[in-house]
Amino acid sequence: MIIIMKPNAGEKEIENVVSIVRGKGLDVNLSQGKEVTVIGVIGDKTKLDGSNVEIAPGVEKAVPLTESYKLCNIKFHPEPTVVRCGDVRIGGGATVIAGPCAVENEQQMLETARGVKAAGAHILRGGAYKPRTSPYSFQGLKEEGLKLLRKAADAAHMPCVTEVIDFDSLKTACRYVDMLQIGARNMQNFELLKEAGHAGVPVVLKRGMSATIEEWLNAAEYILASGCREVVLCERGIRTFERSTRNTLDIAAVPVLKAKTHLPVIVDPSHAAGVRAYIPALTRAALAADADGVMIEVHNNPACALSDGDQSLDIAQFADLMASIPCLK
């Protein structure tokens, strides 16, 4: 349930409602926007029966919530959330995250980091723990990779993000990076989501390849319910019958999410397309659909990449793409 206060409701009236709700053993999520204050009630709302909270002074109305996710629900928190990754803001602009699929070596990371930074990217990406389809594919450099990612990010004066796949990688990554990524394959690894929510850093949550938007929002809710309020949703394509692309970019997810959640929404055209040539059009489509940013795979030498070379742009291609997008210039 949400309790919407009247626009002129004062602090005392808000405090009174909060204490009625807490007095019934329920939790409160207070969202004080410029226009309106919304008090989200977390827990079994039948405990409020007979409390007359809906006619307490300053209350405009009490509305039941039908969705199972609350903290990420736009009804709970009508103002858009802006997530901070280092000194970069995600939300309310077009933030560009770029870098290789996997961290491979120092030269690759330094060249790529400096290249994407010069082209205008804001955050460096690079995987050190790679959840690969085949156990015989390159699995990542692990902690050694995190050190190289940090070094390259510092050299290029950028914050960085990396994927974590289990408790160990999560704990280790927190010592090196500014933001964690939970990948498509782990979107419903609920224990990992809870642990990420306790980590004290922002989290990018990618959409599972067969996840509905509702399942995805419930996954985000796990992170929020564990205490982290800085979650970014990343649409990265879903499985459909279409085989021309690696996945099908669900561009409609962007406006749908904007209607349902206050969390920032970014798009990863690289894993959606799987083909380098399609990345520029999909990037422009994502930003035209009002995404808060994009995550793009870029490699200093895609032909030699140890993972996802076919979908990686080289630095010149990435610079051309950035130059073609007016809001990124």
Q: List residues binding Mn ion (CB under 5 A).
A: 101, 308
Q: One symbol per residue from 137 to 176: x for binding ligand PEP (CB under 6 A), - otherwise; what is it?
A: --------------------------x-------------
C-alpha to C-alpha distance for 77 and 318, rounded to whole angstroms: 36
206 binds ligand PEP (CB under 6 A): yes
Cβ proximity to Mn ion: between 84 and 138 the closer is 138
In the set 77, 236, 246, 258, which binds ligand PEP (CB under 6 A)? Answer: 236
127 binds ligand PEP (CB under 6 A): yes
For residue 98, report the phi and psi dihedrals to the nearest 5 degrees: -145, 155
276 binds ligand PEP (CB under 6 A): no
217 binds ligand PEP (CB under 6 A): no
Reported in sequence order, the residue ranges of the chain that DSSP labels E, i.e. its strands, are: 2-5, 27-32, 37-42, 59-63, 83-85, 88-90, 95-99, 123-125, 160-164, 179-182, 203-206, 231-235, 265-267, 293-297
Question: Which of 47-55, 178-186, 238-246, 275-283 is the region at the interface with ligand PEP (rule: CB under 6 A)?
Answer: 178-186
Q: Which does 183 bind (CB under 5 to 8 A by kind): ligand PEP, Mn ion, none?
A: ligand PEP
Question: Which of 23-31, 90-98, 111-119, 177-185 is the region at the interface with ligand PEP (rule: CB under 6 A)?
Answer: 177-185
Residue that has been written with the tokens 């990010």 in this structure:
153
Cβ of residue 70: shortest distance to Mn ion, in angstroms?
A: 32
Cβ of residue 146: shortest distance to Mn ion, in angstroms?
A: 17
286 binds ligand PEP (CB under 6 A): no
Q: Helix, strand, or coil here: 290?
A: coil
Question: Which of 60-68, 73-81, 115-123, 179-187 is the region at the interface with ligand PEP (rule: CB under 6 A)?
Answer: 179-187
Q: In angstroms, what CA-CA distances link 265 with 176, 207, 286, 294?
A: 24, 11, 10, 9
Residue that has been written with the tokens 């009002």 in this structure:
290
Q: Which phi-psi region, left, alpha or beta, contains residue 198 (left: φ > 0; alpha: ψ -120 to 50)? A: alpha
Q: Annotate 152-185 with b (16+ C-beta within 10 A) or e (fewer).
A: bbeebebbbbbbbbeeebbebbbebbbbbbbbbe
Amino acid residing at 271: H
Site residues (vs ligand PEP, CB under 6 A): 101, 127, 163, 183-185, 206, 236, 268, 271
